[in-house]
Structure 1
Amino acid sequence: MNIFKTPLFIAVAATAILAAGTADAATKSSTFKVKMTVDGSCEIISTKDVNFANRFANAGPVSAQGEVAVQCTNGQAFNVQLDGGNAGSIAARKMVGANPANTVSYQLYSDSSASKVWGNTLGTDTVDRTGTGFGSASTFNQVLTVYGVATLVGNEKADTYSDTVTATINF
């Protein structure tokens, strides 16, 4: 009897060959992370002038509004400062005419009742908020209204008065 021709031998040999082939097909796995860090950031998107427009020199207060629009990362705390302008200080802001001797006093406030002067001392007279998001759509804009009050004394000369105020965002 030839052992190599028996069905038992053929079955054992086939099993050995298949088992050897299975050992070659082993797999190994590894893992990797997918990650990102979202940085906290803020930006002043736009500003709108406080324009008291054309006025007669009647004594008394004149009101106008402007805006500072900002965007900040969602949850990012921030504050916005306004400086004293080019011609005065926060306590004594003033617009200057084409003739530098001509001035009009004014003040900027963070509230509509004109009781909170908007300045640049952190935690005291700045506007503090928390960001809602960043994006190209204006949906994320936080518009901060700047309330202006100019005080005319009645003897102002005909002139075009202006000042330049710098808004700064801290985060």
Structure 2
Amino acid sequence: MTETRIKLRKPSNQDGSAVWELVRSCKPLDENSMYCNLVQCDHFADTCVLAEMNGAPVGWISAYVRPDDPETLFVWQVAVSPLARGCGLGRRMLGQLIARDACADVNQIQTTITKDNDASWGLFSSFAERQGAEIDSEAYYKSEEHFDGTAKTEHLVTIPLAEPLSAAA
């Protein structure tokens, strides 16, 4: 499969249920409600990416610029269908996302990852390397403190970008 067969775009409010189905098919990702995915597609379209192959969703990133820190893009979730794995789609979606006008003042990306999520560590490490950046991580949402022991500790991962895109222009 070539990257040119996959189209990246902003989602619309018509995409919520398709995104929900995609995320459900990408185990072990946490499933949000269909309503949550609909709101992401509608209200946060400028900071979300939908990847399609032959009109079918094969990739998704939900993200937002942090309200308390407009220089930080927080990546909530990355989903890549088994049909599109192995071609750098996650990295490609992240690259398109940070190039958007909505991210013009962003100078770092943050996300949370559990220690055993090799796919996410691989994606964000590869992305950081291509940006010429070092990854910083620390335990953030702790199992006992935040999840009552029902979920694994999430590590806050921070990737500095060379400079805000608005300064690079």
TM-score (norm 2): 0.25
Question: Radius of gyration: which is bigger?
Answer: 1
Asked which structure has the greater RCO (Cα within 8 Å, sep 6+), the reply is: 1
Of Structure 1 and Structure 2, the greater helix share is in 2
